[in-house]
Amino acid sequence: MKFKLLILPLIIGFISACGDDDKKQTAPKLKSSTPPNAQISNGDLLQPDATGNVTAFQGATRLKAERTEALRASLSNRKVKNVILFIGDGTSDSEITAARNYAEGASGYFKGLDVLPFTGAYTTYSVDEKTKAINYVTDSAASATAWASGVKTYNNALGIDLNGNVQKSLLMLAKTAGFATGNVTTTTVYDATPAAMISHISHRSCYGPVDTQRKCPKNSLDNPNGNGLGSITEQLLNTRADVTFGGGAQIFSERVLGGKYQGKTLLDQAKEQKYQIVSDLNQMQAITEANQEKPLLGLFANHHLPVSWAGPMASINGNKQPAQKCNTSNPHRPTSIPTLKQMTSKAIDLLKANKQGFFLQVESGSIDRQNHLAIPCGQIGETVALDQAMQVALEFAKHNPDTLIIVTGDHAHTSQIIPNNASSPGQTLSLITKDNAVMTLNYATAHPLSTQEHTGAQVRIAAYGPRAANISGLLDQTDLFFIMRDALGIK
């Protein structure tokens, strides 16, 4: 029997089912859980590891105690002070399952991704710019715009609707309302997911002034009409989140083409705008304050941050080769580059100084990138990194019960777990998991050795904290914007 906790009736139905008579065996009764105090707690976190030997009767089940009272005690519609949104780019059930199997075993669980009590799914489709027809497979820009601004748009667009109208993001609204704000990623700070929170632009590739002048001329600051908002990076500086962490240092050497800072580099502009700029772990940890007077900009690599784990690319008939283990460290990742866990911890530590509260988005962005490249170990390692960052936030929420934590992906992706001896036209690789069993991953949404493609499946979403019950059943990405906005009580 497979369980998926979506809403309370499903739990109750399951409990009833467990009471059915069996002619040969009787399932043990579930113990009642003690409900926590709803006034001081967010409710219990789940511990969904298997109850025993997975080959024994009820040994593989994960439900250890009757959860209805514990979940009821965690129900609250009180005002939320802090919202922390975790995004696994290109992360759906397939990516989570593969990473769990490898790192924790089939009967194990992630201490961040898998413990949130309220779970649902959301649809991710975008809309064609010209025909207005549904596009069932979104890109990261349109999907991020959906939860950042509450509107469907076309692939490659950021912070605008189908007609090019500017749509304010939740980060912008939160900042205006007096909340502290943060934007953390393992990709470049101007990549699609972080960019949706800080920019309005017609194409996601208009990273700096040079690209914007060529690809998005209406947005360029040298637009003759004088109404261009600038490149994504220029808009990032002007949006002025209190904390911004990621990669992309190289683009800050580009020169501004118009406006107040014309002729100066983006780095010069950041310094004149009183940004504190750090480039490694020690510098980041030394910062003690970040706010609107002195926002913090961490640029820890010239481009995307190197991934945490290393391993081979999947290949044609790769599952016919001996199964391998991943290298859980990457020799090409210097220790001076902070991990996602460290960036998340520092961001929370700085943002919590705001008495009104904060909004923080945290992205593990290279789950998607490694999926595109068909590199299973890199993909799994970045999923583990997401889980580790979530554990930091959950520990904070235990002591700050007015904190809402949400985790989801922006779209589904190509990787699939297939039978070990299956014949596939795609790229495959077999890995030896924590169970000492073989797991084969398959990548077959594009011609072998070319960039793999996104897919259109719905994506898991889960939550913990006040108003977390809104994250249940079937939602759309745009629902997430309104759930977070209303939780913070902003308009």
Report the side by side order of strands in the sheet with 416-418: 315-316, 427-432, 438-443, 416-418
Residue 42 structure tokens: 């967010």
Instruction: Give residues with Cβ within 8 angstroms of 423, minimum separation 6.
Output: none
Q: What is the DSSP string of 289-314?
A: --SSSS-EEEE-SSSSPPPS-B-PPP
CA distances from 266 to 37, 190, 251 (A): 50, 13, 8
Cα-Cα end-to-end distance for the chain: 44
Backbone angles phi, psi at 196, to 5 degrees: -65, -25
Q: Which residues pair with residue 463 across a beta bridge?
A: 118, 406
Residues 180 and 196: their CA atoms lie apart, in Å, by 17
Residues 311 and 377: their CA atoms lie apart, in Å, by 5
Give the residue numbers marked as catalytic. Answer: 140
Q: Provide the sign of the torsion angle of the four alpha carbons 190, 196, 198, 199, taken in this order.
A: positive
For residue 334, give the amino acid letter.
Answer: P
Residues 231 and 199: their CA atoms lie apart, in Å, by 8
Residue 231 structure tokens: 């490149």
Given a contact cutoff of 8 angstroms between Cβ atoms, the answer to whether 389 and 86 are in contact is yes
Residue 32 structure tokens: 């009642």
- Report the b/e string of 181-191 with b at 16+ CB within 10 A: bbbbbbbbbbb
Comparing CA positions, the residue from 53, 50, 71 lying closest to residue 61 is: 50
- Residue 38's Cα: distance from chain center in Å? 28
Residues 267 and 256: their CA atoms lie apart, in Å, by 10
Residues 382 and 186: their CA atoms lie apart, in Å, by 9
Instruction: Give residues with Cβ within 8 angstroms of 219, minimum separation 6.
Output: 201, 202, 206, 212, 228, 229, 230, 231
By three-state DSSP, how is residue 340 classified?
Answer: helix
Q: Count how many Cα atoms sit within 13 Å of the Cα of residue 198 in the half-sphere of its side chain.
A: 29
